[in-house]
Chains A and B, each alone.
Chain A
């Protein structure tokens, strides 16, 4: 059974939010200061809220009776459609802040455009989330500035964090026939058209932070949008799904 394109599109965006939210949840109690435990939990909660809307909607559009929890907990890794960037491990605070800057800059641009989607559910989700993600981007920006232009150690770590995640950027702006078919109907945003604005913003932050824009890209074979992931994804799902799966059919 193939899913309707709209359901797949909602899942792609929903999985991005769900998986990044999970990674932020891993930070809670481990942050460098209490304010960051609060902030990272807050951002994770925003993303989780977006994920729940998007996964529920994917289930509705699919019309096969799957709920948000069925989709989050009962799909296997090959059925998850998030980009690799969001599943990459937290590592240190610099890597995590690089991930936040790179992803939230994209997600903000996406949601800003998606507010005008011909699909009212996607438009409504985006309109609500755009305010949240504006804060996420600002939070990440402030940290990249502090770390880039802080101490020698923080500069080194921030540059290393960017280098670490830069290879995962190109995938975020990939587009395909499925997306294009929805773009033609005015429902989806062509991700490739967001790249120039993203470059402008990120380059500005890196320059102010005295950081160097990394070189090099990596186009993953298959890629997250088609359910081919990086190795850490399996561990993330094992942890996230094991309890739910250990009690088939239970309510929580």
Chain B
């Protein structure tokens, strides 16, 4: 390496640092440290994979939706999630990696998706619980990413968050209708909330401190880079504070006897989360990990001949034009 290029890289690093320090956006054409690029690829890919694996638990109920209006809303929602996947894969592609490579990594189990989607959707009320709690938690996680230092990711998040808030309202409305319906519908709603409450809290990831905390260096680096803005526990608390009054409005209880308002903190206290469950699900031992991956891989493999045909057809057109 010549001295010139060392000067160049120092200058480039300084330029990057200035963008971050000034809370400006880093764009694909800008130089960025390799670690920043890798961290973003991992995070955006995991986010994209979550959108598309997340289509499965809800897609599971499209053919059984109990009214035509609900069927239309659910189909549109699952379609939105596919759209979110598309925006996010495009954002990842600006970092120099193809969607097909990312899908291969997912299918090989080398990249992850949100553990929440490894829980089964057993009743119609689960469509309500997912919209209200899972999309609700996603919003809390994602709103700060609208200000992420990486421009394409931040812009994708702005579009996505708008739609997620629709989804959350629709989920709330499903549960509202059920909780004001027949005793059987009400029981269905309560059961869904009981099953989805704790896994939703786990969506914010491991605790900031103590056993199972994620390596603090990671979080600190992501914060310094402006990729992460708040800690897992801060976001989790924000979600609890937002959700407890909504549960009261629904007339449904949350399966945690320790939830109570803490005047001093100005927040709700809540019970201890069993993170061993989260770690088991992350390791692949959740209720539906194998099914979700098998479904995804099967769709991909079944579609291989279609994608090959499209590529072959496009190549023929191109050579005909040339």
**Interface residues, chain A, with chain B CB atoms under 8 Å away:** 18, 22, 25-26, 28-38, 41-42, 44-45, 48-49, 51-52, 55, 68-69, 72-73, 92-93, 145-147, 149-151, 153-154, 157, 239-240, 242-244, 247, 250-252
> Contacts of A92 on B, CB cut-off 8 Å?
302
Complex CA distance for A150 and B72, rounded to whole angstroms: 34
Tell me which of A26, A29, A32, A52 contacts B56 (CB under 8 A).
A29
> Contacts of A42 on B, CB cut-off 8 Å?
79
Contact between chains at B86 and A26 (CB < 8 Å):
no
Contact between chains at A51 and B68 (CB < 8 Å):
yes
B306 located at the interface, meaning its Cβ lies under 8 Å from any Cβ of chain A in the complex: yes
The 6 closest A-B pairs by CB, nearest first: A32-B303, A150-B309, A154-B309, A32-B306, A41-B79, A29-B59
Most buried by A among B63, B65, B71: B71
Interchain Cβ contacts under 8 Å between A and B, 14 examples: A32-B299, A32-B302, A37-B78, A38-B83, A41-B79, A45-B72, A48-B71, A69-B67, A93-B303, A151-B305, A153-B309, A154-B305, A243-B124, A247-B66
B76 located at the interface, meaning its Cβ lies under 8 Å from any Cβ of chain A in the complex: yes
**Interface residues, chain B, with chain A CB atoms under 8 Å away:** 52, 55-56, 59, 62-72, 75-76, 78-79, 82-83, 85-86, 89, 124, 174, 177-178, 181-182, 184-185, 295, 299, 302-310, 312-314, 316
Contact between chains at A41 and B64 (CB < 8 Å):
no
Tell me which of A28, A36, A51 contacts B75 (CB under 8 A).
A28
Residue of A nearest to B51 (CB): A34
Complex CA distance for A30 and B300, rounded to whole angstroms: 8
Residue of B nearest to A240 (CB): B63
Main DSSP-derived SS at the B contact region = helix
Most buried by A among B72, B185, B304: B72
Complex CA distance for A107 and B306, rounded to whole angstroms: 26
> Within the complex, what minimum Cβ distance (angstroms) separates B313 from chain A?
4
Complex CA distance for A72 and B124, rounded to whole angstroms: 18
Contact between chains at B312 and A251 (CB < 8 Å):
no
* Known A-B contacts A32-B302, A247-B66; A45 and B310 likewise in contact (beta carbons under 8 Å): no
